[in-house]
Amino acid sequence: MSRVGAQKLARLQTIVRERLGWAEQLAQIKRMHQWVLAVEYILNGDFAQAGEAVTNETVGQSLDVWRQTHATQLTEGQLSKLEQACLAHFLQTLANQRLHLVQCYESRGLPPHEQ
């Protein structure tokens, strides 16, 4: 192999190693993004069956179930330290803002369902 070929191969190997190092970080980001999408799904009322009323109570119950389910992940040991910290913060924020997040479903003129 020529000197130039060896340099190109070495550079390619370096790039591949760097990319492999990012794979786990990218997987973590994707998992955390799914948490946000799941809560968005709940807050949009998309969980409701056709014809089922989306109320403050039903949204609140769905959000509480999601929070409780994911709170158990904090102690199961399957999440990285970064994911644990982010999930703990996200769950705490949802708990702190719960009342404000679920009060608009039965009020006229308020999003998400201007009735």
Q: Is 95 helix (H, G, I), strand (E, B) or coil?
A: helix
Whether 95 contacts 60, CB under 8 Å: no
Predicted pLDDT at 50? 84
pLDDT band of residue 72 (cuts 50, 70, 90) is very high
Say what the alpha-carbon torsion angle 16, 19, 21, 26 is, to the nearest 10 degrees.
-160
Report the alpha-carbon distance of residue 24 to residue 65 in Å, rounded. Answer: 28
Cα–Cα distances in angstroms (integers) from residue 30 to residues 23, 33, 61, 67, in the given order: 11, 5, 25, 18
User: What band does 114 get if pLDDT is binned at 50, 70 and 90?
Assistant: very low
Q: What pLDDT, on a 0 to 100 scale, did the predictor assign at position 110? A: 66
Per-residue pLDDT, 64: 97
Mean pLDDT of all residues in 19-34: 90
